[in-house]
Amino acid sequence: MLGWSDDRPLSAVLPGKVAKALTKSFGYTTCGQLLLNHYPRDYIRQGRNFRAFAEREAPEGAFITVSGTVTWISKRPTSNGFVLNVTVDDMYTAVFFNGIWQERVLQKGVRVLFSGKLKFYNRQAQLQHPEFLILDAPAGSTPVSKRWGGTLKAISQFVDVEELLRDREWLPVYPASSTLKTWTIMAAIHHVLETMPPIEDPLDIADLTFDKALRDIHEPGPEGPQRAIDRLKYNEALGIGLVMALRRRDTKHWRAFALPPADDGYRAEMLAKLPFALTDGQQRVIRDIDHDIARPEPMTRLLQGEVGSGKTLVAVAAMLSAVDAGHQAALLAPTEVLAHQHARSIAAMLPEDIRLTVLSGSMKVAEKRQALLDIVSGQADIVIGTHAIIQESVEFFSLGFVVIDEQHRFGVEQRDSLRLKAPEGTFPHVLVMTATPIPRTIAMTVFGDLEVSSLHELPGGRKPIQSSVVPEGKPAWVRRAWQRIREEVAAGHQAYIVCPRIEGEGGVLELAEELQNGALAGLRIMVLHGRMDDKDDRMAAFARGEVDVLVSTTVIEVGVDVANATIILIRESENFGVSQLHQLRGRVGRGGNASLCLFHTLSAPDSASFERINKIAATSSGFELTELDMDYRREGDVLGTRQSGRQRTLQLLDLNEDLLIIERAYEDAYQLVEDNPELAFELTAEIREKEQEYLDKA
């Protein structure tokens, strides 16, 4: 972290069995990996009241560490001996079979720390044969040297257990595994810290050195761990901020075609003929983009806007600036349905002389050959397509501007392939668009990797979409949902029904047949899913109004635009992500009619998934939903290619809660790069090569 590493092999510092267990359970091989990647998940503060323990805080089978006071002891004989039940704080029970030694030391009134596997018996929490440590024994009880066994006895072979625990007001609780208990990890980290020389801090931060912060987060003093946590959060933010600042410094040397807006070009012609006025937000974003692309440095801008806020029109205006300047523009869409829809809607906006070419994987050989020829010869002014655009066989004559629609659908390498299709020595200006940024995008944005434009307003005539939750446990509500669909169809409108799967119970095929013979009998129902070869034809038929109800999987999620669709019912909505649900909701309400989204769910009313669905239904703001998405998924691997939160570059930093720390670190990073770029390079040297490559590609 920031120029520091401890590359000592764990096997050279710890007993071989412990080192192997750490490697097997968590993948750590060096002391630095252990110290920087395995922070405590919680702390137990001796002498104070502890956090209440309840079933909802840990699932059955989890390895947990809890503490409390023995309030009751009971003993029940069995055919093979006896069972000792030790009740703690009248909340949970530690169970020991033939626990002769445990019966002697676990007396009523003793304060104990337990660690073991959680089970539930008759809805009561139990720990069966847990490891334990007596924290506070009444006078005259068993001597200290007899207070531990099992794991603590094993770790006493390489650390002094009494010294480890003596006068420790704060005890760290580490993420554990079935073979590696939190106490073993605590002892291993203690021994690594004992044998680690002081760390020379490259940063002049008076309030707390890095050395003390790293030691205090694992072994807090009386003041607790918070100052150490804040300092290490700052280090995480500063490390990424430095990489971003260095990258921006490097990109100043990249060259792009300058695309200044022309007063009398194709763009001006298109804007003058629009049958409606641009929103204030659209005008503002167009000005921002004009300012960027008029310069010979490549723009990288994120355009985030509500579904239907007019992002595509803004993108077309920018693409026409490229055409006015004598270059080509490309739009990359995630699906063929969306690519062809973009082509139709954009073609309707374009001046007559603009040549638009579509390129997709399903095109016939002759069509694709002609499209490739038009692109490489410069006959194609604007190219719209799917992943087919980024194939090696596709060469542009002079690519100057790239639009990536629904950027979370494309991997880093795919986006990079399109960027590299500009003429040698140049980079195209890049505009990425999304209705609901995914958490990693937010992380990248917070750290300043992208310029950001936002569209909050809806164009005139658009009405907010009403959302409601339909629990399966309330049959009357489910019947009313089908009735609402019939009412919308009777009024001349159309409906979507989205299912989480194709086959089986609750799948597209089964539900469509059930509705055709039941609740929606007599309506024109069509099935659509990803395995069909005629997906585009079916979608087109729905768009033409030849179908009343489309029962589909999420193939309709992005960009499908049917103005007459006014109601969507999403079955088993708990199976979809926040972003997906917001995108699906955006399929209705596109024609100015009042519209309704029904979130059906099988979740129990007191479950976390039910709560999540209700939060999504309660807001139509994609920006607020992004924060909700981050709460549930985390920000992902900020410097890597993963887009979920399981493997995180950020161990401590919370992008929802630590904005002040991030802002301070980001400002410091830019100042440091300005004042001492050599030190900034040195401090970020530990970032893996593939992570640096990722930043270039992003």
The mean pLDDT of 503-523, rounded to a whole number, is 94
Hey, is 586 helix, strand or coil? coil
Does position 485 have pLDDT exceeding 70, yes or no?
A: yes
State the pairing for strand pair 356-359/382-385. Answer: parallel
**pLDDT tens-digit readout, 266-288:** 999 999 999 888 999 999 999 99
Does position 370 have pLDDT exceeding 90, yes or no?
A: yes
Q: Which long-range contacts (CB under 8 A, 24 or more apart) does 649-652 make?
A: 649/236, 649/240, 649/691, 650/236, 650/240, 650/443, 651/36, 651/37, 651/39, 651/232, 651/236, 652/39, 652/229, 652/232, 652/233, 652/236
The mean pLDDT of 21-33, rounded to a whole number, is 94
Q: For residue 149, what pLDDT is reported?
A: 54
Retrieve residue 117's tokens: 């596997």
Retrieve residue 394's tokens: 């596709």
Q: For residue 323, what pLDDT is reported?
A: 97
The mean pLDDT of 623-628, rounded to a whole number, is 76
Better-predicted residue by pLDDT, 356 or 662: 356
Q: For residue 637, what pLDDT is reported?
A: 52
- How far apart CA 428 and CA 328 sit, in angstroms, is 10
At 688, is the pLDDT very low, low, confident or very high (cuts 50, 70, 90)? very low
> Is residue 44 within 8 Å of 224, Cβ to Cβ?
no
10-229 matches 465-619 in fold: no
Q: Does domain 266-455 have CATH number 1.10.10.10?
A: no
**pLDDT tens-digit readout, 646-668:** 445 678 888 778 888 888 888 89
CATH architecture of 465-619: 3-Layer(aba) Sandwich (3.40)
The winner for highest mean pLDDT among 107-111, 138-142, 496-500 is: 496-500
Q: For residue 411, what pLDDT is reported?
A: 54
**pLDDT tens-digit readout, 117-162:** 888 887 788 888 887 877 766 655 554 444 555 666 677 778 877 6
Q: Does the predicted TM-score (pTM) go above 0.75?
A: no
**pLDDT tens-digit readout, 577-587:** 887 898 899 88
Domain boundaries, the chain: 10-229, 266-455, 465-619
**pLDDT tens-digit readout, 531-556:** 888 887 898 899 899 999 999 998 88
The per-residue pLDDT of the chain, averaged, comes to 84
- How far apart CA 265 and CA 285 sit, in angstroms, is 19
- How far apart CA 132 and CA 104 sit, in angstroms, is 13
Which CATH superfamily includes the segment(s) 10-229? Nucleic acid-binding proteins (2.40.50.140)
- How far apart CA 692 and CA 162 sit, in angstroms, is 45
Q: For residue 643, what pLDDT is reported?
A: 45
Better-predicted residue by pLDDT, 184 or 147: 184
Q: For residue 486, what pLDDT is reported?
A: 97
The mean pLDDT of 424-428, rounded to a whole number, is 90
- How far apart CA 681 and CA 673 sit, in angstroms, is 9
Which of the residue ranges 299-308, 352-361, 439-448, 558-567 would you say has the lowest mean pLDDT?
439-448
